[in-house]
Amino acid sequence: MSVPIANPDRTRIGWIGTGVMGSAMCGHLLKGGYRCTVYNRSRSKAEALLAAGATWADSPKRVAEVSDIVFTIVGYPNDVREVILGPDGVLAGLPTNGVVVDMTTSEPSLAIEIAKAAAARGCHALDAPVSGGDVGAREARLSIMIGGEPDIVAAVMPCFQLMGKTIVHHGGPGAGQHAKMTNQILIASTMIGVCEGLLYAYRAGLDLEKVIESVASGAAGSWSISNLGPRIIQNRFEPGFYVEHLIKDLGIAIKEAKQMGLVLPGLALAEQLYLAVAACGHARSGTHALQIALARLSGIDWLNRK
C-alpha cells in the first residue's frame, strides 16, 4: 500500500493534543494551508486553533474518521494507548491507508504495538517524538526523531518540514522513541551541570548573566545553558517541558536500559533528582526548576536570593 505525499490541497489533517507543544505544532500546519480537525480533553486549550480555522471533533475516533493523517502528542504512554488503540481511539476510525503519527515521547514497545495494530487495519503508523521545547515548537525548529516505514515517512515529510528543522528517520517502528530516550538521557544529565554550574557561580558572587555569556559560546555551551540559563537567573520556571513528563521519560529510559543490560548510573541519579524537584512542588514547572531543588540542598532559597 502506498500513501500520497501530504499536500494541503488534498490531505486532511487530524490533531490530538493541544498543550504547550501541540498547539504551536498544529498551528504551523494550519498556516501551511492544511485543513485540521482537532481534539483535546480540555476544549479550552484548543480555542486558539479553532479561532485560526481548525475544526473541533468530540473524540479521537471522530478526528480520525475525517482525516488522512492523524498526529497525536499527549502526556503519557497510557494516554497514547487510549487515544490510538482505545475503543474510541484513532485506529477505530482511521480510513484504510490512513496514517497515525504519534509525537508523544513514549515507550518503544508501544510504538511497535501501534504499528502492528495499524497494519492489521490496513493503516500505517509512525513514532516521531520531538525535542526543542516550547521555543522550538513555536519557531518550527524542532528536532523530529522518526521510526517507521521509509515510504510513509516520505509521505508525511511535508508536514514534518512545517514543524521542525532537523528531521531524521532512525529506522523501523520504535526507533524514533529510542532516539528520543537518548535525547532525554543527555538533557537530564546536561541540566544537572547547568544548574550546579550556575549555583557555584552564584555562591562565588559572580554576575550570572556574564557567566552565561562567557560559557555559552565555549566548550561548555549547550542548548540548555543558552535557552534555559537566562530563565533560571530570572526565576522564570514556567514549563517548556514539564518536570513530571521528564520523570516519565527517565523511567522509560531506565526500563529500556535495564532490558539492554546497560548500567547508567548518571541516568539513575537524574531520575532521583527530578523526583526531588517534584517533591518540592514543582512537578508542573519546567525541567530547569531543578535549580530550586539543588539550591535548597545548599541552604539557598533560589527564588528569594539577593
- Residues annotated catalytic, as ranges: 180
Q: What kind of fold does domain 12-172 have according to CATH?
A: Rossmann fold (3.40.50)
CA torsion angle 5 8 11 13 (round to 10): 120
**Grid-cell match 530547569, residue found:** 288
Ramachandran area for residue 171 (φ above 0: left; ψ -120 to 50: alpha; else beta): left
Ramachandran area for residue 48 (φ above 0: left; ψ -120 to 50: alpha; else beta): alpha
pLDDT for the residue numbered 1 = 54
How far apart are the C-alpha atoms of 144 and 165, rounded to whole Å? 8
Q: What kind of fold does domain 179-304 have according to CATH?
A: N-(1-d-carboxylethyl)-l-norvaline Dehydrogenase; domain 2 (1.10.1040)
**Are 246 and 188 in contact, with CB atoms under 8 Å apart?**
yes
In angstroms, how far apart are the furthest CA atoms of the chain?
A: 64
What's the pTM value of the predicted model, to 2 decimals? 0.92
pLDDT in tens, the chain (306 residues): 578 999 999 999 999 999 989 999 999 999 999 999 999 999 999 999 999 999 999 999 999 999 999 999 999 999 999 999 999 999 999 999 999 999 999 999 999 999 999 999 999 999 999 998 888 999 999 999 999 999 999 999 999 999 999 999 999 999 999 999 999 999 999 999 999 999 999 999 999 999 999 999 999 999 999 999 999 999 999 988 899 999 999 999 999 999 999 999 999 999 999 999 999 999 999 999 999 999 999 999 999 998
Tell me the residue type at 21.
Answer: M
Q: Helix or strand or coil: residue 144?
A: strand
Q: Where are the domains of the chain?
A: 12-172, 179-304
